[in-house]
Amino acid sequence: MGLHCSQYPKILLFFICVTVTIIFQCNAVTDPGNMAVLQAFYKNIDNKELVGSWSGTDACGVWKGIQCQSVFVTGISMQSMGLSGKLPANFNQLGSLTTISLQKNNLYGSLPSLSGLSNLQVAYLNDNQFDGIPSDFFKDLTDLRGIYLNNNPLNKSSGWTLSNDLLGSTQLANLSLYNTSLVGAIPPFLGSLGSLQVLSLPYNYLEGTIPSSLNGTSLQVFIANSQQGKSLLGGTLDVLGSINTLTQVWLHSNNFSGEIPNALSKASGLKELLLNNNQLTGTVPQSVASLGSLANFTVDDNLLDGPIPVVGEGVYFTYQGNYFCSSKAGDKCTPEVSALLVFLRGVGYPSAIVKSWLGNDPCSGWAGVSCIDRHVSVVNLAKRSLSGYIDPAIGNLSSLTILKLNDNRLTGTIPKTLTGLKALKTLDVSNNNLNGPTPSFGPGVGFITAGNPNINNVAPASSPGGGSSSGDSGSPSGSGVNRNGESTPKKKSSSGVIIGIVVGCVVALIAAFVIVFVYKRKKKPKFIRVPTELQAAGQVTINGAGSGEAGSSLVGSNGSVVYPLWVLQKATDNFNSTNLLGKGGFGSVYEGNLEDGSKVAVKKNGS
């Protein structure tokens, strides 16, 4: 069949188009500006045989590793080729470049500036030998999504800091600067990058704290472990508790302190939480350890206490080198240990005390803790530089007789729970910065509050042998402070009133002296002699009649009543010097109170 005449123009047009295309391809050229950059790059490559011959005027689709769109270079992909050489200084003239993949080679020299590459989305420059980075490296990278500079000795001798030019990269999702000689603090401006999901900064020389600007961000991966400088990353981990999108947290081998935030349990996708080798204190939140997503959880070598939490099946969990009350996960602390640890939290977990309070028995040599009958009787943490507050949990130590917290930096109020301690005899909180009204204690409690300028004492109605005492309120002479803490006006006085007050005071003192003298004559305590040989045998002898603790006494051959030593230790608060009545060649005499209410004096020979 012949062709119709009307078809000739179409066939002719087809052949013309094919011919023009062939001619264009045979004479195709890459943008001259782009070619100049590529030729400079090729010239600087030491082992050119790895990329072949870059010749001619067209690099697009011809030269190894070069991708183009039209006549402009859009990608360079030469990863893991073993290339050695430098990148040209005019690298940022590849204005259409979107992807750089030069990772895992042996490229060296300074990184070129990427300034102005507004189309660049991803730059893989990691695992090379680049030793410098220009100050405008991150400038005007408006479309940047990810940049990887890991394992390059950038400015190794002096280090470098991140420029806030990155604020222009509003779509940046991944910033990986592993082992790149970064110095200084983690820049707060990173919290303004709303698209940031991965922040990888380990093995650098960073110091300071986690910036609060990361609070509430969409960060998923936060890696900043193993800083190399003298001053590591530190401070608390509180900010992490507000980032619910976290899936991976590596902060081990730093100097972080404070508690593991319980709010981390809100990060329902958290898979890895590596916090070992820090200075973290407090208990490990069970809510965090129980996260169903958790696969790797390490807290080794911290100052953690309390019980070891129970983790889910299959979770890699390490916790050695801490101060837990038990060695088995899930075991609870004793009530007294729990009370002391809650108290310790209130005063900021001082490391010296944390390191002493090890195990589940506070009577096993814990610093500042003394016991009678395996129960805590004395807590003496005076002059320990404690700060914080007195937690009401201290009131759960039912056998506590002496609590000394004087000469610290405590704030807040004195908890009312202490008034429920039936055995309490001494409470010394002097020389702190406590405030508010003081609770009222019954007779016999030595309550000392002097040196707390902001405290408002409320003295008991009657407290012989105890009561409250405080320092000078600082009020002008003749003025005072009422029970509400309000200043009262200065009142006028006369010589007659003053004389009357003086005379009244003298009469009252004489009367009080007479009453005390008569009372002591009538209430002279029985004496209990403590021979040295019986101390060694674990029991002592009471000379003379007297009732004692039922079931605890024995009758000796001389008719005297024999008690175990621990009974008299309890009665005299372990022969505490505060109960010492007198000392001489005959020995020492201590005042004591037996369980049946008998008031006795114990004579201890040879001391």
Residues 6+ apart with CB under 8 A from 461: none
Contact 119, 98 (CB under 8 A): yes
Residue 604, annotated ligand binder?
A: yes
Q: How many Å apart are CA 98 and CA 155, to the nearest integer?
A: 26
Region at 235 (left for phi over 0; alpha for psi -120 to 50; beta for the rest):
left
* Single-letter residue type at 591: E
Q: Can you say how many angstroms the Cα of residue 276 is from the centroid of all Cα atoms in its chain?
A: 12
What DSSP string describes 295-330? -EEE--SSEEEEPPPP--TT-EEE--SSEES-SSTT
**Cα–Cα–Cα angle for 282, 288, 292, rounded to 5 degrees:** 160
Contact 385, 368 (CB under 8 A): no
Rg value, the chain, Cα: 40
SS3 of residue 590 by DSSP: strand
For 176-290, where are the alpha helices, taking DSSP H only? 286-289
For residue 606, what is the DSSP state? T
Contact 204, 180 (CB under 8 A): yes
Q: Strand pairing partners for 280?
A: 258
What DSSP string describes 454-476? EEE----S--TT-EEE-----PP
Q: How many Å apart are CA 379 and CA 421, to the nearest integer?
A: 13
Region at 365 (left for phi over 0; alpha for psi -120 to 50; beta for the rest):
left
For residue 404, what is the DSSP state? E
Question: How many other C-beta atoms are found inside a 10 Å radius of the C-beta of residue 17?
Answer: 10
Q: How many Å apart are CA 349 and CA 344, to the nearest integer?
A: 5
Contact 573, 425 (CB under 8 A): yes
Contact 102, 124 (CB under 8 A): yes
Query: Which token pair is 269?
Result: 């996708």
Distances (CA, A) of 363 to 359, 366, 375, 398, 499: 10, 6, 7, 15, 56
Q: H-helix or E-strand containing 33?
A: helix 32-44
Q: How many Å apart are CA 454 and CA 472, to the nearest integer?
A: 11
Q: How many Å apart are CA 590 and CA 571, to the nearest integer?
A: 10
Q: How many Å apart are CA 330 and CA 40, to the nearest integer?
A: 66
Query: Which token pair is 200?
Result: 């990888």
- Binding-site residues, in ranges, read 604
Question: Residues at the annotated binding site for ATP?
Answer: 604
